[in-house]
Amino acid sequence: MRPRKLAAATLAAVLAGAVVSGCSTDQAPARRVAASPSAAPTMQGALAAVQLPPPLALPPTGLAVSSQQMTYTREGRTLRTVVWSPDRAGRYPAVVFSHGLNGTPESFAPLLQTWAAAGFVVIAPAYPNTTKGAPSFDVYDVLNQPLDAKYVLGQVLAGPLGKRIDSTRLAAAGHSAGAITTVGLFTAARDPRLRAGVVLAGSGLGVGTDFQGTPAALFFVHGDADPLVTYESGKATYDLVPWAKAMLTIPGGNHNDPYLRPSSASFQTVAKSTVQFLRLELYGDAKARSSLAPTTELDSHL
């Protein structure tokens, strides 16, 4: 079997459960594990290894957010895209976000709107063969999604919205299969425009762990009771990242709640921590480092 086919077969086998129970939908996951009320999220890493960009003035907190939709086509692949942006004049860092299997950009609106309200343009494509309601659902197609994400980012930067984006301050993020897509943007399909990445409940499955190009800071977030993409697989990928990195462990965290359910305490932890990470790496806000995980003793180099 060719390496690409082997990777795709492995990806399909591991994520088969996600197709049934919903990798990123509004439905409850197949298995729910309550976090211990006494357990605090733990952090490890050494983000200081990547040089921060020149400091950029932080916008006011709680910006009003607007959204718009556009559609792009890459080699016959239709990519409906939702963009959330601060409803305030200025140029902002941007994040391209990838949903998981059976997900949509709108599934993640609470989290992505939080990022936009903190001063980021969020670009979220709906992938043609893994989004909810796709006419031809195909788990294998996750391997094509890194190139989709690169294309959509390029189209947005070249269009009218590009005038509102600081193209020197770009990141990628994603959940589950979308997190695998994100890892792919730093491995086989390395996008040199990206200086940071957020991997939510993901791993390098199918896209590999051969991290390439200019070093970029990566932030992994994973529940240690995730029944679909195991904590061990995420941690194994994290361990192989040769650049600045940090990993936030959610005790008792399952596959969906920390990223999709604003009513959960773990969601609030993820929202706050990811905003601080993005501010650190895209705004050059050194103060964000100390508040990234205030209850946790971090690596001395962080």
Instruction: Write out pLDDT tens, residues 108-146.
Output: 999 999 999 999 999 999 999 999 999 999 999 999 999
Contacts of 267 (CB under 8 A, 6+ apart): 110, 111, 257, 258, 259, 260, 261
Give domain status of residue 22, yes or no.
Answer: no
Q: How confident is the model at residue 45 (pLDDT cuts 50, 70, 90)?
A: confident
Q: Which domain holds residue 132?
A: 3-15+41-50+58-291
Phi and psi at residue 154, to the nearest 5°: -65, -40
Give domain status of residue 138, yes or no.
Answer: yes
In this predicted structure, the answer to whether residue 299 has a pLDDT above a threshold of 80 is no
How many Å apart are CA 282 and CA 284, to the nearest integer?
6
Give domain status of residue 231, yes or no.
Answer: yes
Contacts of 192 (CB under 8 A, 6+ apart): 213, 214
Using DSSP bridges, classify how beta strands 194-200 and 165-175 pair: parallel, antiparallel or unpaired: parallel
Residue with tokens 């989004």: 131
Q: Which of 199 and 300 is assigned the larger pLDDT?
A: 199
How many Å apart are CA 228 and CA 148, to the nearest integer?
24
CA atoms within 13 A on the CB side of 277: 32
pLDDT at 12: 57
Give domain status of residue 186, yes or no.
Answer: yes
Which CATH number belongs to the domain containing residue 95 in this structure?
3.40.50.1820
Residue with tokens 């718009």: 68
Number of domains making up the chain: 1
Give domain status of residue 78, yes or no.
Answer: yes
Across residues 213-233, what is the average pLDDT? 96
Residue with tokens 């061990």: 232
Give domain status of residue 296, yes or no.
Answer: no
Please write the tens of the pLDDT for every residue from 85-116. Answer: 999 999 999 999 999 999 999 999 999 999 99
Its pTM stands at 0.89
CB distance 24 to 102 below 8 Å: yes
Give strand pairing partners of 111: none
Give domain status of residue 126, yes or no.
Answer: yes
Give domain status of residue 29, yes or no.
Answer: no
In this predicted structure, the answer to whether residue 295 has a pLDDT above a threshold of 50 is no
How many Å apart are CA 293 and CA 47, to the nearest integer?
13
